[in-house]
Amino acid sequence: MTADRTRLVRMLPTDRSLSLGELANATQIDEATVTVLLQQLEQDGLPLHKESDTRYRLLEPVLPIDVSDLVGQLERASFAFARQAVVLDTVDSTSDWLSREQQAGRDIHGKACITEFQSAGRGRRGRSWQGSPYCHLMLSIGWHFQKEAAEMTGLSLSIGVAVADCLKELTGVPVGLKWPNDLWYRDQKLGGILVDLNASSGGSTFAVVGIGINLREPSFNQFDPGQPVTDLSSNTGGDLPPRTTIIASVLGAIANVLDRFHPHQFLPDQDRFNALDVFAGRKVRTESKGKRLQGVGAGADRLGRYCVHCADGVVETINSGDISLSLAD
CB environment 42-51: b (16+ within 10 A), e (fewer): eebbbbbeee
Cβ(185)–Cβ(176) under 8 Å? yes
Same domain flag for 97 and 221:
yes
Same domain flag for 84 and 127:
yes
Same domain flag for 171 and 96:
yes
User: CATH number for the domain including 12?
Assistant: 1.10.10.10
Please say if the pLDDT value at position 293 is more than 80.
yes
Cβ(173)–Cβ(223) under 8 Å? no
Provide the phi-psi class of 28: left if phi over 0, else alpha when psi is between -120 and 50, else beta.
Answer: left
In percent, how much of the chain has pLDDT > 70? Answer: 92
- Kindly list the distances between the CA atom of residue 162 and the CA atoms of 16, 224, 254, 258, 268, in Å, as whole numbers in the listed order: 42, 25, 6, 10, 12
Same domain flag for 321 and 188:
no
Give how many domains the chain has, as a whole number: 3
Please say if the pLDDT value at position 129 is more than 60.
no
Of the listed ranges 15-19, 244-248, 284-288, 299-303, the least confidently predicted one is: 284-288
Question: Nearest 5°: CA angle at 257, between 75 and 272?
Answer: 125
User: CATH number for the domain including 87?
Assistant: 3.30.930.10
Per-residue pLDDT tens digits for 302-323: 999 999 999 888 998 888 765 6
Same domain flag for 159 and 236:
yes
For 85, the domain range is: 67-274
Cβ(249)–Cβ(166) under 8 Å? yes
The reported pLDDT for the residue numbered 173 is 96
Among candidate residues 255, 166, 250, the one with its CA nearest the CA of residue 211: 250
Per-residue pLDDT tens digits for 93-116: 999 999 999 999 999 999 999 999
User: CATH number for the domain including 320?
Assistant: 2.30.30.100
Alpha helices by DSSP H, listed for 151-269, are 155-171, 243-264
Burial of 243 (0-12, 13-18, 19+ CB in 10 A): buried
**The pTM is what?**
0.92
Same domain flag for 153 and 198:
yes
For residue 305, give the DSSP letter: P
Same domain flag for 304 and 179:
no
Per-residue pLDDT tens digits for 9-25: 999 999 999 999 999 99
Instruction: Give Cα 265 distance to the centre of its chain.
Output: 22
Assign 194 a pLDDT band (cuts: 50, 70, 90): very high
Per-residue pLDDT tens digits for 23-71: 999 999 999 999 999 999 999 989 999 988 789 999 999 999 999 999 9
Cβ(245)–Cβ(167) under 8 Å? no
